Chains A and B, each alone.
Chain A
Amino acid sequence: MFGNEFYVDPSRCIGCRACVAACSECDSHRGQSMIYVDYLDRQNSIATAPMVCMHCDEPTCALVCPADAIKKGEDGVVRSALKPRCIACSNCVLACPFGVPMVHIKPELMMKCDMCYDRTSVGLRPMCATVCPSQALSFGPPDEVRKGRATTPINEFSFGRELVRTKVFIMLPPEETVLDIDVQDYMWRDTDGSAPWLLEETFMD
């Protein structure tokens, strides 16, 4: 699907893992998902974030591969390691600035998200972005996707002095703030600090 872009908006993610479930249905990595969905800090927040391969312009994983097993296609999609070449050394796992590749023990192979190029090459959207019910993962024409969003797409990331440009865009809020969220912050206390709705016995030892 030429002319389409892949967008990740972590703020939309509801942690449902539909993407993980759908990714694991792929014939090339049966039952294994190449997507990660994590709670950032479940004890303190319901926030979750999905992570797919960012498909770097100059993929660090490929640069550090001693076996020349990782290739970027003309479509800009960085593939999983080539099976005949991969020596499962994990250099790519350690080097990736986004923490995406995984070496899978059973096939002794680095596997990662390949943006479903089997689907996109026949006019279908990647599986995760198709099913995602919150469209935290979305795939489509840039005009269409950006038009409907208040967020700003970013695809340049600074790691120290290293600038990494990626095929995948991350949506960022216009202004970022650090939040410490507690349900108590949204609850009412009387001026003397008491909470008449709360039964004292709740906190009896």
Chain B
Amino acid sequence: MANVPDKVEDLYRLYGPHPNYEPPGGWDKAAERPPDKLVKTHCSFCGMQCGIQLKVRDNQVVGFEPWEEFPFNKGMLCPKGVKRYLQGAHPDRLLSNLMRSGSGFQPVPYAEALDFTARRLLEIREKYGPDAIAIYGGASMVTEKAYVLGKFARIGIGTKNIDYNGRLCMVSAGTAYRLTFGIDRATNPWTDLAKADVVLVAGSNTAECAPITTQYLWQMKERGGKLIVVDPRMTPITRNADLFLPVRPGTDLALFLAMLHVIVRDGMVREDYVAAHTTNWEAVRDSARDWTPERAAKITGVPPANITTAAHWIGGTDRAMGIHARGIEHHSKGVENCLAMINLFLATGNIGREGAGCMMITGQGNGQGGREHGQKAEQLPGMRSITDPEHRKYIAGVWGVDEKELPGAGLSAVEIMNAIHEGKIKALFSMCFNPVVSLPDSNFVREALDKLEFFGVIDFFLCETAFHADVVFAGSLQEEDEGVVCSAEGRVQKINKAADPPGDARSDALIICDLAAKLGRGKYFQYPNGTRDIFEELRVASRGGLADYYGITWDRIEKELGVFWPCPSLDHPGTRRLFEGGAFYHADGKAHFQTTEWRPPGDPVDAGFPILLTTGRVVSHYLSGTQTRRIGPLVEQYPEPKLELHPVLAGRFGIQNGDWVKVTTRRSEVVIQAMVVKTIRPDTVFIPYHWPGKRGANKLTHRTLDPRSKIPEFKVSACRIERTAAPADIDAIRTQETGWTGEA
């Protein structure tokens, strides 16, 4: 019954997005007197987790000041970090808990929202069993919340079905690193990037999605290092690339296999290292035998000579590094793409040393910490496996329950939505996730949500997914609670509270614990000191696991400006760089080479849909845009989705810069304006995905998953394009969905 209440237009009008441009009370008030305090904390957005100081006055965040002492970013920020303070005292902020009524949403007392939610969850559990209830979490919230949400699902409700929005982000990389190295973390501290002689950046729009990494790459370049960029688009870091490999979307694996072919063919394998520290090399070596650069060129569109050069540069130094992101991971062979890239560095011995390693760039704010402690479908805290009897026994002991009470592995994020659509899952409780914008095939997602018998959401703004909810709890922004996050480099950092949640909003962790109490499970969720107590339990729960936090305390983090896990004891310094001396995390201490096999993407081009569509981010927006589409200066910087296409392709279809174009895939269509640029392959178009509704890029994407990681294939769909007229209701769409009137 979770249909969108009332009219969507009314929801947009009431709850936004409305762009906010000025600090609380306006600039004049802001200038009246200095802030009461500066709070040292970290940005609420991407995996860089830059240090930042928030200006606080009258219990409101009113501005920022760089935090130059924090070693990772030394005061540097991107525009999202600079303007994030505008989300705090925002006019769209949810100040009360909401329940669906006959005419939209009505504010209700907290107790009423809790009672209703608990009653509905108990009724549905009674009628259909616990697995008919699913929980969605997210990786933008502190680790303590991710931990307590996982515990709530498993022993608060008793469902196996919990997963999180990191399923759209880090799982291909995580799976590949677990398979090869036995651990899921970036291998090196970021300072190593500046010390490499060669850096291969594959499928990462680093400058826009991890902006602070740019300075590390430029330092490497200033030292005379070489930058190789693999991307179907020239992204801003390409301006200083020494070698640009414009790979056809969906063919990264062919490129990496050919590079390995060259490394083997030209005797650049570090045989001594491979023999001493790895297994399964022969199989991987043989798998590349037929992958000549000439064969790969025909598939990828990258010249054979450039494939050879890239391989020679990596094979010709002992200081090569690789970094990759969603560009190679958002594929139905995302795991294999990562494995094939790792293989290049492992075969050349470029691992586990200063300036040598291969690592993923984690995308979400707590994309690393959020995947370590138990909101993943198959995982328990400390990166333990929910199917391993020993791991289950340990966590059951920490939680004080019988091991038999713990459910098994559940469905992944997209599979949960599929099961809702099939009617197998009847209730959903979601926090920190906006699947209407971020999951593939968004028309399907909306249909599924409308079938739910109960849908509860915790959020600080009414995100487009919450439009479908029966009850919405007003939750907390990152700056309204405290806890830890783990940055892209594996550094556990402290988020400090700057202000109290306004109105009747409250800490998400508190809401979860109150709900557990209403479900009769309160004794397992006793945390009188809030997230601090949760962290102390998490330390113990992670002890002896892969992601061992036992030696990390909030005090240590503050004192040492972050601690790298694994950190098994209080006197352990933390682990900045993994695999030093060839020590890997598998039981045999070795790295396990993994073979890969070429196969085409899940939504292939054909005569009806001949053009490749790929999606991604822009610098001024974050994920589904729930926050950044409400921050005026960030909206103005990139107000609405555009279609990037090459002039050759545009010319074939009579499209000029600024023309309206209908983009159609096997799922749906969108009409957006063309941005004709020579910086994208002529067989590929690009749309950023931060927007909802009629122009959401994810209306077009498909639900094909990687069989192991279950990540959707966002990075390659088949489409067709045609020039068309501007939508008649474009002004209304702009105002509703982007909070932007078209006048910059």
Contacts and interface: CB of A to CB of B under 8 A. Distances in A.
A159 to B, nearest CB: 27
A133 B683 contact: no
Contact of B218 (A20, A44, A135, A201): A135
- Dominant SS at the A interface? loop
A45 to B, nearest CB: 7
User: Which of A14, A15, A149 counts the most chain B CB atoms within 10 A?
Assistant: A14
A205 interface: yes
A24 B679 contact: no
B605 A186 contact: no
Nearest to A42: B677
A11 interface: yes
B238 interface: yes
B652 A203 contact: yes
Contacts of A163: none
B541 interface: no
A21 B679 CA distance: 26
A45 B647 CA distance: 12
B251 to A, nearest CB: 7
B581 to A, nearest CB: 30
B587 interface: no
A197 interface: yes
B560 interface: no
B83 interface: yes
A12 B683 contact: no
A174 to B, nearest CB: 12
Contacts of B215: 133-135
Nearest to B254: A197
Interface string A13-29: 01111101110110100
Contacts of A25: 63-64, 82
Interface in B212-251: 212, 214-215, 218-219, 221-222, 224, 233-240, 244-246, 248, 251
Contact of A43 (B221, B301, B678): B678
B600 to A, nearest CB: 12
A187 to B, nearest CB: 5
Contacts of A181: 234, 678-679
A55 to B, nearest CB: 22
B236 A14 contact: yes
Given A11-B239, A42-B677, A148-B222, A134 B214 contact: yes
A18 B79 contact: yes
Interface in B57-83: 63-64, 66, 68, 73, 75-79, 81-83
User: Which of A148, A184, A204 counts the most chain B CB atoms within 10 A?
Assistant: A184
A148 B83 contact: no
B66 A183 contact: no
A14 B298 contact: no
B741 interface: no
A99 B299 CA distance: 48
Contacts of B234: 45-46, 181, 183
Interface string B577-593: 00000000000000000
Nearest to B620: A17
Contact of A134 (B211, B605, B610): B211
B82 A43 contact: no
B744 interface: no
Nearest to B243: A186
Interface in A160-201: 181-184, 186-188, 190, 195-199, 201
Interface in A53-108: none
A14 B207 contact: yes
B31 A188 contact: no
A188 B78 contact: no
Nearest to B301: A197
Contacts of B73: 133
B316 interface: no
A14 B606 contact: no
Contacts of B30: 27, 30
A22 B211 contact: no
A8 B212 CA distance: 17
- Chain A interface residue bracket vs B: 35 or more
A125 interface: yes
Contacts of B675: 42
A21 B297 CA distance: 42
Contacts, number: 185
Interface stretch (B302-310, B327-335, B357-365, B387-395): B302-310
B448 interface: no
Contacts of A31: 21-22, 27
A18 B620 CA distance: 9
Nearest to B604: A199
Contact of B214 (A45, A125, A133, A184): A133
Given A22-B82, A187-B303, A188-B303, A14 B211 contact: yes
A120 interface: no
A131 interface: yes
A202 B76 contact: no
Contacts of A198: 301, 682-683
Nearest to B303: A188
Contact of A183 (B64, B606, B678): B678
A17 B239 contact: no
Interface in A130-162: 130-135, 148-150
A188 B302 CA distance: 5
Contacts of B239: 11, 14, 45-47
Contact of B304 (A18, A42, A188): A188
B234 to A, nearest CB: 5
A134 B207 contact: yes
B611 interface: yes
Contact of B77 (A22, A184, A195): A22
Nearest to B652: A203
B75 A18 contact: no
B46 to A, nearest CB: 11
B222 A130 contact: no
Contacts of A190: 298
Given A31-B22, A44-B678, A131 B82 contact: yes
Given A42-B677, A197-B298, A201-B610, A18 B303 contact: no
A4 interface: no
Contacts of B244: 186
Contact of B251 (A149, A197, A204): A197
B300 interface: yes
Interface in B643-686: 646-649, 652, 657, 675-683
Contact of B301 (A24, A132, A187): A187
A148 B652 CA distance: 47
Contacts of A133: 73, 76-78, 211-212, 214-215
A27 B208 CA distance: 28
Contacts of B233: 183
A37 B303 CA distance: 34
Given A31-B22, A47-B239, A18 B633 contact: no
A72 B14 CA distance: 50
B95 interface: no
Contacts of A42: 675, 677
Interface in B279-302: 297-302
A195 to B, nearest CB: 7
B86 to A, nearest CB: 10
User: Which of B248, B302, B677 counts the most chain A CB atoms within 10 A?
Assistant: B677
Given A27-B30, A131-B77, 11 more contacts: A17-B619, A25-B64, A45-B678, A46-B235, A148-B219, A149-B222, A181-B679, A184-B646, A188-B298, A201-B606, A203-B649
Top 5 closest A-B pairs, CB basis?
A30-B27, A201-B610, A14-B207, A14-B236, A21-B79
7 contacts: A16-B207, A43-B676, A133-B215, A183-B679, A183-B681, A188-B303, A197-B298
Interface of B: 21-22, 27-28, 30-31, 63-64, 66, 68, 73, 75-79, 81-83, 207-208, 211-212, 214-215, 218-219, 221-222, 224, 233-240, 244-246, 248, 251, 297-304, 306, 605-607, 610-611, 619-620, 633, 637, 646-649, 652, 657, 675-683
